[in-house]
Amino acid sequence: MWFRLRQIKDADREWIRRFMSDHWAGESVVVHGVVCHPHLLPGFIAEDERAEPIGLATYVIENSACELVTLDSIRMGKGVGSALIAAVVQEGQKQKCSRLWCITTNDNLPALQFYQKRDFHIVAVHPGAVDRARTLKPSIPLLGIENIPIRDEIELEMRL
């Protein structure tokens, strides 16, 4: 499967806002108690041969850490997510970051598998963090993948 990566441009912001609303229960995400608006963040888009978006990664660089805020692949198992992570790693290294980190939820076993296969390590579990996040974003569902109650945040990192 052919695809290419490119940096997010201002013209992509509205598409990202709609994508987040359709796939993330609203245009914002809440991670570690902070409300983020991915359509305002830097990142990368994967496009197919027709220039249709098939993947998205957004990030924030703060101090010497690069946080992967969102990662989505519309075509699973084709290398899109891995390529997006590689692009964020490269950007983090360029910005002299010492680590790339992300948060997922306790129900998201596919994400835990995906990240760990790509050299991310679990570094913290934040019990009840998603319950607290619902005060900032009530649209976060109570049940997730396989009807597992969504309660906790799991923090993963990759040393750069």
Domain ranges of the chain: 4-159
Burial of residue 4 (CB within 10 Å: 0-12, 13-18, 19+) is exposed
Q: What one-letter code names the amino acid at 133?
A: A
Contact assessment for residue 69 and residue 88, using Cβ atoms and an 8 Å cutoff: no
Place of tokens 């997730």: 144
4-159 has which fold?
A: Aminopeptidase (3.40.630)
At 100, the pLDDT band (50, 70, 90 cuts) reads very high
Q: What mean pLDDT value characterizes the chain?
A: 96
pTM, to two decimals: 0.95
Place of tokens 């245009």: 27
Q: What is the pLDDT of residue 76?
A: 84
Q: What is the pLDDT of residue 104?
A: 97
Is the pLDDT assigned to residue 1 strictly greater than 80?
Answer: no
Residues 16 and 1: their CA atoms lie apart, in Å, by: 23
